[in-house]
Amino acid sequence: MGWNFGRQLIVLCQQHSRASEVMIAAFLLLFGVLALLVLAAVVAGLFAPLLGLIWLAGTLGA
């Protein structure tokens, strides 16, 4: 959905100056980076309990 929204913004701004296209590209890049950060946070949240258990088992076994 976000990608279609970005494409619509680009179509709306095509009749405007080059600067607006650069701003839209920067917005899409920022949006993509934020999406990757959210994905990384979700993956870390899923694996954190498992890593915690491994660390706890290693600490108790040592």
- Entry pTM: 0.48
Does position 62 have pLDDT exceeding 80, yes or no? no
pLDDT attached to residue 2: 58
Burial class (CB in 10 A: 0-12, 13-18, 19+), 28: middle
For residue range 13-50, list pLDDT tens digits in order: 665 667 777 888 899 999 999 999 999 999 989 888 88
pLDDT attached to residue 8: 72
For residue range 5-21, list pLDDT tens digits in order: 767 766 766 656 677 77
